[in-house]
Chain A
């Protein structure tokens, strides 16, 4: 990539520590992010995929500085997010927004829609007084909600409509980058398609960049330019979406691909991977995290952590055997 990326995440680490037990508390560590690196270009849609518990939601929260990081850096448009002063952070917040998985929990139930969408405008001085209402009406138009929604409360809407409100709120500050954390997985399939079409249109019209976090490979294939595959807090593979799914380099990506086949009745599906849940991130396997589930695993995989290396332009993989 020639120009500087919009978002650059380098070796990001986040460890959750819990003290449990009495009288001598036992300290348990969960390495949610264990050196995660990726970048997002302007107007680019990056998919982040992986099983639940692999740290994909944590990436968004740490990158947005909703939680502190324990190492590594997040650089947004040349500025370090975690080193930013309070004022710089406020300016940066306008440019990075988030869409949440559960639209019921992401809206304040005591706020009418006009207030929920008008407040960011007022706080950031984008619109004041009488100018707020028309600005919020434009946002509602953009996400396809009727203007009559303004004076109602969130609980009066369906899940899909609430997600549209959440999207409108993320758009209110005209961001350059939106983290979408499983934005459609809480919705009915028919509604999912509508929301995805809305996101697609917004991306085109506004030139938005997305970090699209999902476990649904079908959605990722459809929506994302590039994809990052995560496994237990680490990136195992990244590259252009079409290439990654056409020719996966990491055994885990192959597993994901086989467990989410493209619907084609003429092809038979063979599942030749060991069954099983991902191991607990509390005590991850040594070496390559994936080796207990990998049928190609060698002695080296069990002891040595594979580095993330470039294999061909734009494609990286973290596997000794690739």
Chain B
């Protein structure tokens, strides 16, 4: 049974996991946006007296080997990590969905080429793929977004194509064609809204994955060059002094963890809320 967005939204409100996920994620985004005002220090300001300072009243989460305030770095780092995560997922979803819907709608040779290319791309592990691209293109925010988007796109191509194939069998697509609608109108005004549910669910899970990939790339030094703070980079810096100051790696890792939990809760919650079988 098809359902209106309203009933799905109402069901979503009753899912406590989804609500918690939204709270966690929104809180992290708000903190990232507000970093210039709420961060107690400049993230790159080095204070010789505070080198490897343990968490105290001045440096709430301690300071690193250069005397930089860890809390401020995490807040500023969130801006880069979340920005890269959101932008790359968005790019991957938009590009992947477009290609997938077009391939599924037209079928034929285009479809077979797209499927073959997708299979090749999917056979690379996401991290290896991102690593390869960043290594070739060079480390910058733009290339990072591109690399992660390329790793995300094939999954969305595959999903959008499959759903489009299923939708194309429905009579309303034939009805649209007999009414003289253009292919573009049918694909993006009729098929896309009907497959959007699944795409949004998957996008929220991929968002988590994109942020994790960025952190991993940063950890092995393939993200934005230092001293700019990103979560993965802060963890890596902290690793050098893991015994002298375990908080250096712990707190940025916790930040990553919180966002992962938040986004996964959102994804799972949305899936339950949009699943017709879950309807009461």
Contact = CB atoms under 8 A, between A and B. Distances in A.
B175 interface: yes
A32 interface: no
A106 B173 CA distance: 8
A34 B65 CA distance: 82
B171 interface: yes
A123 B194 contact: no
A154 interface: yes
A100 B180 contact: no
Interface in A46-103: 61, 64, 66, 89-90, 93-94, 96-98, 100-102
Main secondary structure of the interface of B (DSSP, over half): helix
A59 to B, nearest CB: 14
A169 B179 contact: yes
A108 B189 CA distance: 10
Contacts of B193: 108, 110
Contact of A64 (B2, B4, B178): B178
Contacts, number: 70
A106 B2 contact: no
B178 A106 contact: no
A61 B174 contact: yes
A114 to B, nearest CB: 14
Contacts of A110: 2, 4-5, 190, 193-194
A155 interface: yes
B1 A98 contact: no
A108 B194 contact: yes
Contacts of B5: 110
B180 A106 contact: no
B178 A109 contact: no
B170 A105 contact: yes
Among A96, A97, A106, residue most surrounded by chain B Cβ atoms (within 10 Å): A106
A105 B4 contact: no
A124 interface: yes
B194 A100 contact: no
Contacts of A278: none
Interface of A: 61, 64, 66, 89-90, 93-94, 96-98, 100-102, 105-111, 119-120, 123-124, 153-155, 166, 169, 172-173
22 contacts: A66-B174, A66-B177, A66-B178, A93-B178, A93-B180, A97-B178, A98-B174, A98-B178, A100-B174, A100-B175, A102-B171, A105-B172, A106-B171, A107-B172, A108-B176, A108-B190, A108-B193, A109-B2, A110-B190, A119-B179, A120-B180, A155-B1
The 9 closest A-B pairs by CB, nearest first: A109-B2, A93-B180, A106-B171, A110-B193, A100-B171, A105-B171, A120-B179, A108-B172, A90-B180
